[in-house]
Amino acid sequence: MSIYGDYIKSVIRTVPDWPQPGVNFRDITPLLQNSAAFRKLIDSFVHRYQEMRLDTIAAIDARGFIIGAPLAYELNCSFVPVRKKGKLPFKTLSETYKLEYGESAVELHADAFERGARILVVDDLVATGGTMLAAAKLIRRSGGEVVETATIIDLPELGGSQKIRDDGYDLFAVCSFTEDE
């Protein structure tokens, strides 16, 4: 949990049964609409990473972009989008991952960063961990050093954060929700 974790958590809205029955959707739009909360959110990432000599923020399509861009600006890092399949125009590398039904893939431009670049991977939420893990593996495969992975929200009961750590990546979460919250 980060310095402002409890406060950030208090401005995230839970929408029951969306997009399907049984899912508690964690909606960050009230957090983004609140300028003081949005600033505290970015500040909590800046506070953690300002001494870590990062070169690049790699942010995951689409909600990861919202935090990745201001963080890259503030830390004087480059910004690299990790996009869902078929969105990037140049030569890409790709990593597939399992969904509940079927498969998906994340992609990265082949020239996105220099070999050995110190990279932070960011997204808004870790559920099963499939998306974050695929992005981290893709970056490592492309020659980047994944210094850490970071998220606003962890849903630990879904096992994703444990899976990410078991695969050897550090994970920082600003806050977490259990199913009954």
Ligand X SMILES: O=P(O)(O)OC[C@H]1O[C@H](OP(=O)(O)OP(=O)(O)O)[C@H](O)[C@@H]1O
Ligand Y SMILES: Nc1ncnc2[nH]cnc12
Residues lying near ligand X in the complex (CB under 6 A) are found at: 60-63, 123-132, 160
Instruction: In angstroms, give the least distance from the CB of 159 to ligand Y.
Output: 12
Q: Are 133 and 99 in contact (CB under 8 A)?
A: no
Neighbours of 169 (CB within 10 A): 20
112 torsion bin: left (phi>0), alpha (psi -120 to 50), beta (else): alpha
59 binds, among ligand X, ligand Y, none (CB under 5 to 8 A by kind): none
Q: Which is nearer to ligand Y, 88 or 126 (CB)?
A: 126
126 binds, among ligand Y, ligand X, none (CB under 5 to 8 A by kind): ligand X
Q: How far, in Å, are 61, 72, 77, 102 from residue 65 at the CA level? A: 6, 10, 14, 25
26 binds, among ligand X, ligand Y, none (CB under 5 to 8 A by kind): ligand Y
Dihedral Cα 157, 22, 175, 147, nearest 10 deg: 60
List residues binding ligand Y (CB under 6 A): 23-26, 125, 127
162 binds, among ligand X, ligand Y, none (CB under 5 to 8 A by kind): none
Q: Which is nearer to ligand Y, 25 or 73 (CB)?
A: 25
